[in-house]
């Protein structure tokens, strides 16, 4: 079992090691994002052309020398007709441009909101300030629950159901799709595909409170065989610790207030207030993509979460110095 876990982790790292977490609408890695990028460049090109044309006309008006007229108030019919034609043409061109861009934007929704039968269905719930991620399956025993990281198969349609438990959030992974709000009492939905393996960073795009800026997430796209292997590993309960240090860490974890908020399947910890920690050590970041996963960052977060994300709902738990290393070892080993 340990060998398979190591092999899976190594495979995931192989496919994502050279893919930094990209967060840019100008780096599309899926059909929905590519369509949005094309719209961006079309709008930018048209607006640039209009601006340049206006500047050229303005410059021509400033540098053109007019012949002196005996009576400045006397109107010249030919000149007035030309001016009216120019202004009228500009008005018509402006209306046509606005209508064309509006129609293009409206018609684009047909492609952006097109639906296929999904290969994976995920329910993402936004909370202050983290993301609860649940993979819906036909078999309850195969349900996968994680937090702040979404794994998807490359090239297959993924449906994401969006909900919120507290305030309005906005789910946005620029390289894969556009923004969609998460509204309490209402379930929204998006569908996207990832074109190639990689790690893509997302962000809450709706101001949702003090730590809004630190409410990030990662989408990891894997080839389908590796994704299926990841799902199988994630659906399993936490492996019982074997070495004495991690066993002591497990005892400390279950004796503290940690079990009042977190779940570690296979143990007495079964609360759903905070993120599921069953496979916490396999994640790439902690605190909703605020810190990279490392023993040092785990220790800092456990000892003083309020110092890292002031206002976060996780309280400071009293941990003795001799308890910290076993506890960190236990959490880091939750693969």
In whole angstroms, what is the distance from residue 286 CA to residue 262 CA?
Answer: 14
> What is the token pair recorded at 25?
């609408």
Say if residues 202 and 23 touch (Cβ distance below 8 Å): yes
CATH: 2.40.10.10, 2.60.40.420, 3.30.70.260, 3.30.360.10. Which one for 120-223? 2.60.40.420
Count of Cβ atoms closer than 10 Å to residue 277 Cβ: 23
Per-residue confidence (pLDDT) for residue 17, from 0 to 100: 41
**Which residue spans of the chain are classified as CATH 2.60.40.420?**
120-223, 244-332
222 beta partners: 153
pTM score of the predicted model: 0.82
Nearest to 43 by CA among 97, 113, 111: 97
The number of CA neighbours under 13 Å toward the Cβ of 32 is 26
CATH code: domain 244-332 is: 2.60.40.420
Closest CA to 254 of 266, 241, 269, 240: 269
Q: Which of 191, 214, 196 is nearest to 22 (CA)?
A: 196
Q: What is the pLDDT of residue 87?
A: 81
Alpha-carbon torsion (314, 289, 271, 245), positive or negative = negative
pLDDT digits (tens, 9 = 90+) for 212-247: 999 999 999 999 999 999 999 998 899 899 899 999
DSSP secondary structure of 91-112: HHHHHHHHHHHHHHHHHHHHHH
- Asked if the peptide bond before residue 129 counts as cis, ω within 30 degrees of 0, the response is yes
Radius of gyration, alpha carbons of the chain? 28
Give the start-end residues of each E strand in the chain. 120-127, 130-136, 144-147, 149-153, 158-164, 169-172, 180-182, 188-192, 198-204, 216-222, 285-286, 291-292
Q: Of the candidates 210, 234, 249, which has an alpha carbon nearest to the alpha carbon of residue 332? A: 249
Strands 120-127 and 158-164: parallel
Q: What's phi and psi for 121, nearest 5 deg?
A: -120, 125
As to burial, measured by CB atoms within 10 angstroms (0-12 exposed, 13-18 middle, 19+ buried), residue 327 is: buried
The pLDDT of residue 69:
67
pLDDT digits (tens, 9 = 90+) for 178-221: 899 999 999 999 999 999 999 999 999 999 999 999 999 999 99
Counting as low any pLDDT under 50, the low residues of the chain are 1-20
Contact 37, 26 (CB under 8 A): yes
Give every CB contact of residue 27 below 8 A, 6+ residues apart in sequence.
Answer: 174, 175
C-alpha span between 44 and 303 (Å, rounded): 48
């Amino acid at each position: 079992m340990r060998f398979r876990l190591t092999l899976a982790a190594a495979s995931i790292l192989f496919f994502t090691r050279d893919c930094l977490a990209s967060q840019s609408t100008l780096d599309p890695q899926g059909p929905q994002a590519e369509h949005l990028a094309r719209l961006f460049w079309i709008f930018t090109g048209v607006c640039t052309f209009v601006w340049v044309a206006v500047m050229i006309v303005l410059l021509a008006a400033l540098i053109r020398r007019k012949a002196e007229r005996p009576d400045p108030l006397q109107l010249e019919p030919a000149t007035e007709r030309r001016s009216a034609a120019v202004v009228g043409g500009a008005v018509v061109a402006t209306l046509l441009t606005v209508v064309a861009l509006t129609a293009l934007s409206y018609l684009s929704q047909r492609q952006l909101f097109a639906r296929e039968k999904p290969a994976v269905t995920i329910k993402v719930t936004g909370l202050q300030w983290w993301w609860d991620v649940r993979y819906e399956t036909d078999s309850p025993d195969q349900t996968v629950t994680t937090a702040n990281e979404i794994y998807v198969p490359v090239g297959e349609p993924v449906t994401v159901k969006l909900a919120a438990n507290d305030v309005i959030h906005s789910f946005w992974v620029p390289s894969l799709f556009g923004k969609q709000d998460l509204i309490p009492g209402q379930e929204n939905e998006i569908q996207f595909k990832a074109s190639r393996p990689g790690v893509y960073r997302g962000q809450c795009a709706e101001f949702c409170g003090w730590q809004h800026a630190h409410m990030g997430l990662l989408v990891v796209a894997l080839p389908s065989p590796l994704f299926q292997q990841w799902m199988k590993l994630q659906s399993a309960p936490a492996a019982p610790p074997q070495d004495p240090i991690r066993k002591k860490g497990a005892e400390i974890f279950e004796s503290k207030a940690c079990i009042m908020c977190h779940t570690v399947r296979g143990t007495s910890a079964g609360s759903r207030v905070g993120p599921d920690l069953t496979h916490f050590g396999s994640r790439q970041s902690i605190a909703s993509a605020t810190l990279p996963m490392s023993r040092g960052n785990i220790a800092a977060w456990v000892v003083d979460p309020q110092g890292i994300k002031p206002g976060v709902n996780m309280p400071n738990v009293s941990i003795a110095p001799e308890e910290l290393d076993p506890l960190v070892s236990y959490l880091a080993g939750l693969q």
